[in-house]
């Protein structure tokens, strides 16, 4: 019987410390996954996250081939600096072990994606499967945000920073642009943590939306309180409502008798 497992950032970083888990991935007893946000969000160096995400912008173009026709094109442009070396190495190691990325929520402006021209990054699925999974992921992500965690924290920060420099409904700006107004070291640190929380929230949403068996992390002890999807209260909610089963790497190895 194959057990499907989503590994979070902390588990990915330490997966090689558990030879039994690596072995189980290799022989197919475990089928592993990780969130695409590990690359698209957390892979941005912490000090660069506010500035990088603030460069997101919407570009509008219009052309008129004749007097009766107007063509309007709207596209979102994202800026991404080179992936942090630590995260790059972890992604490459995960892919070499056979893990694949789960797609996150489908959002218009901040539905971040990773290019995958040779289908070596994302889980391979049909269009019908992708649509069904993304619908499920979107529903869970929205429920997480309603609890004031996940992406909701970064969204609120961006809007607050925009308001602090006079952005109004009459002069709107993307909330992501607001993150660029985090100027002090403390503010950038706050944004970096909010982006990590966004990644965690979307990662859990993907885990549930794709119907993965176990969610593996080695960071539960660091999230005992505060506004985070991984605190005790929210983990209990995820388990109760969505049946999420949380395990550490050691517990995973014990559960599967892989040492």
Instruction: Count CB atoms within 10 A of the CB of residue 200.
Output: 27
- Quote the CA–CA distance of 132 and 103 in Å, as a whole number: 12
Q: Which domain holds residue 62?
A: 3-255
Weakest mean pLDDT among 14-23, 146-155, 205-214: 14-23
The mean pLDDT of 55-59, rounded to a whole number, is 76
pTM (global) more than 0.95: no
Task: Give me the pLDDT at residue 258, please.
Answer: 61
Instruction: Count CB atoms within 10 A of the CB of residue 104.
Output: 29
Does 77 have pLDDT greater than 80? no
Task: Give me the pLDDT at residue 68, please.
Answer: 65
Contact yes or no for 174/57 (Cβ under 8 A) = yes
How many domains, in total, are found in the chain?
Answer: 1
Going by C-beta distance under 8 Å and a sequence separation of 6 or more, which residues neighbour residue 258? 18, 20, 21, 23, 24, 29, 30, 252
Give the strands of the sheet with 30-35, arranged side by side: 100-102, 30-35, 3-7, 214-216, 245-247
The mean pLDDT of 169-182, rounded to a whole number, is 86
- Give the rounded distance of the alpha carbon of 54 from its chain centre: 17
Q: What CA–CA distances, in Å, run from 191 to 19, 54, 84, 169, 180? A: 35, 11, 17, 23, 10
Task: Give me the pLDDT at residue 27, please.
Answer: 92
């Amino acid at each position: 019987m194959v057990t499907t497992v989503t590994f979070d950032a902390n588990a990915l970083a330490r997966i090689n410390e558990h030879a039994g888990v690596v072995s189980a991935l290799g022989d197919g007893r475990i089928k592993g996954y990780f969130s695409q946000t590990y690359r698209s969000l957390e892979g941005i160096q912490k000090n660069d996250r506010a500035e990088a995400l603030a460069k997101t912008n919407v570009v509008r173009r219009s052309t008129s081939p004749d007097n009766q026709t107007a063509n309007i094109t709207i596209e979102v442009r994202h800026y991404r600096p080179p992936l942090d070396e630590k995260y790059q190495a972890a992604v490459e190691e995960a892919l070499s072990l056979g893990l694949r990325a789960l797609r996150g929520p489908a959002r218009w402006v901040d539905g971040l994606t990773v290019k995958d021209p040779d289908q070596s990054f994302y889980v391979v699925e049909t269009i019908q499967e992708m649509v069904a999974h993304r619908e499920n992921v979107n529903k869970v992500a929205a429920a997480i945000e309603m609890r004031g965690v996940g992406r909701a924290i970064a969204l609120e920060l961006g809007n607050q920073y925009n308001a602090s420099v006079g952005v109004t409904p009459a002069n709107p700006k993307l909330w992501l642009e607001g993150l660029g107004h985090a100027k002090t070291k403390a503010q950038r640190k706050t944004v970096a943590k909010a982006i990590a929380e966004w990644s965690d929230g979307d990662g859990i949403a993907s885990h549930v939306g794709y119907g993965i068996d176990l969610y593996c992390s080695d960071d539960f002890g660091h999230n005992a309180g505060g506004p985070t999807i991984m605190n005790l209260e929210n983990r209990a909610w995820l388990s109760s409502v969505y049946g999420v089963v949380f395990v550490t790497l050691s517990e995973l190895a014990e559960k599967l008798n892989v040492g």
